[in-house]
Structures are given as structure tokens and as C-alpha cells.
Amino acid sequence: MDPKIEQAIELNAEHLRRILPLMHQHKIPATPENYAVWYHYVLGDEKALSARIDQAIAGQIPFSGQLNEELFALLNSPDQHLAMARIGEQLQALLRETSGAISATGERARSYDDTLQRLHSDLDDSPRQAASGMELLQAVLHETSQMRSSLQRMQQDFDTKSQEMDQLKVELEQVRHRATTDPLTGLANRTAFAERLETLIADAARNATPLHLLMFDIDHFKRVNDTHGHVIGDKVIRFVAKTLKEHACDNCLAARYGGEEFTLLYPASSLEEATALAEGIRHTIREARLVRTGSRESIGQVTISGGVAGYRPDQDPTDLIQQADEALYAAKHGGRDRIMVD
């Protein structure tokens, strides 16, 4: 919209809000002529007219039919008719703008729009009525009040629904987290691992980028459980998981694959980087000295074996997992506490 027209619309809307209460306060009949008089009073562009009205407001001159006619006579000139026509055009623009702004607010908005369109039509028929049209303007004010109430209810409903949606998002995120997280270690579970592996393989195939899978298994874990019990066994599992998390880079995914077996996905890495990461994890676990919380009794040395496999073109997820598992198997049968590369 032209800025000048937009400014005129805003200005006349403000005049409208001031004129109607003044006419009501002083019991001025709602006629086109009277509205034109009070329009110019609010506008302040007719000093003689404003002075007469100020006197009447001050109680010096009573508002009467005769005074109203005299006031209108001051405006009854060709120039004033042109001014009133301009007022009508600006009011019509205001109505068109308002009508467009509410077109998407539902049934209540459509009712409001109908009222505005009727007023618009009447204003087209008589430019002079554009300057007053008191009854029609009162209808617009009534419809505006109804619309405001409807919009307030809509806003309240929207706020409520928005809060409900926010809560639903939180709950869904909690469900998603539980569904993809191993409860003992906080690592990704096997389901999350499988989903991420499939995505990374697709990326590697599409972009010809490297991808490595590291697979680990706690050595002699059954002996730990048999000797120290499942509580200590869980503590060992959590320690290994914590070590994986601490060593994993930002774009890695560490997961508990099952039991005492773990995996780590390392995208965009060279074989040397993947092997160095696996060796760093193995070394940290080997050098740790785990003890019971109360008695400080040593649990004994904990070690892991690991296998490293790199993605090859046209492999599917099962192929890469099997490749890493074979490397892990070789580490186990090669004496444990070591990393083997396929």
C-alpha cells in the first residue's frame, strides 16, 4: 500500500475513535451533516467552527438544532464538498484495509467483513455519507466489539492449544529418548544405532565419504559377574560406556549393542583415526583401577577387545556389522585386550 494512503487510513481511524464519543457525550444527532461538522472539529482545520463548538461545550451556547445547522453551513461550500469526498475515499480505503486484514479469522471475521462491505457500498453511493454515515459506523463499532471478543477467545484458545502442543512435544521427546536410549548406560540403544548406521551408510554412498564402525566387547565379563555379582557387573558396564562417551568425537555415536558389547560409529574418519580412537578407549579402560564403593576392594583389571571396520561401496548395514564383528572375533581369539582391523 502507498505510505501516504496508509498514513491517511491510520489518521482517519484515529479521528473516528474520537468523533463518536464526543457526539454521544453532547447528544448530537447522528446525521451526515453533524458528523461532517465534528470531523472538522476533531481535525482542527476550521478555527471559527472550533471556537463555536468550544463555546457550546463550555456551556456558553446550547447545542440545538439551529446551532447544528449553523455549524454545518460554515462547511457548505464547494471546497468543503471536495474535502468530504476525500474523507469518504479515505474511509473506504480504511474499510478495504480492515476487511482484508480479517479475511482469515473464520466465521466471525466473515460476518464482520460483510458489514464492512455493506458500508463500503453505501459510501460509494454517496461521498457525503462517507463523512458521517453514523448509523452504519455504529454498526461497524458493534461488529468490531464482537470481533474483538471473538479474537480474544481465539487468542485464549490458541494459547491453551499452544501450551498443550508444547507439553506434547516434551512428552514425545521423552518417549523418543526412552525408545532410543539404553537405560543402564545412557548410550544409544541398538535401535538408535541401527537407524543412525543406515543413515550414515546412505550418506557415505552418496558423498563417497569414509565411515568406520568400532565394535567392543568386555573381556571375561561372565567372570566379573560370577565373582562380584551383577551389581558390580553393571558398574563395569557403566564405566566402559562412560569411557566411550568421553573419547567419542562430536559426530560419533556410541551405543550399547547388547549385554557387554558396544559399538561406535565414526563418520568422515580415516582408518588411522578410527584405529587410534579404538586404541585410546582400550588403553583408558585397561589402565583404570575399579574398586567397590564401600570397602574399596579392587574389582581387578578390566580389559576390552575391539574390531574396526571401514565401509566399502555397495555394503549394506548388515555387511558392515559383520565385518566389524569378524575383526572383534579375531581380537578375542588373538589373546584379548587388543584391537584388530578388518
Q: What amino acid positions are annotated as catalytic residues?
A: 260
Whether the predicted pLDDT of 130 surpasses 50: no
Whether the predicted pLDDT of 89 surpasses 60: no
Domain boundaries, the chain: 3-155, 190-341
Output the average pLDDT for the chain: 80
The whole-number pLDDT of residue 281 equals: 98
Q: Confidence band (pLDDT; 50, 70, 90) for 138?
A: low
Sheet containing 253-258: give its strands across.
253-258, 261-267, 211-218, 304-310, 339-341
Whether the predicted pLDDT of 28 surpasses 80: yes
Among 125-129, 138-142, 322-326, the range scoring the smallest mean pLDDT is: 125-129
* Most confidently predicted of 78-87, 211-220, 290-299: 211-220
Interatomic CA distance for residues 151 and 158, integer angstroms: 10
Q: Which of 284, 267, 275 minimizes the C-alpha distance to 306?
A: 275
Q: Confidence band (pLDDT; 50, 70, 90) for 5?
A: very low
CB 281 within 8 A of CB 243: yes
Is pTM beyond 0.85? Reply is no
Interatomic CA distance for residues 278 and 305, integer angstroms: 9
Interatomic CA distance for residues 38 and 72, integer angstroms: 9
Share of the chain above pLDDT 70, in %: 66
User: Judging by DSSP bridges, how do beta strands 211-218 and 304-310 pair with one another?
Assistant: antiparallel
Look at domain 190-341 and name its CATH class.
Answer: alpha beta
The whole-number pLDDT of residue 270 equals: 95
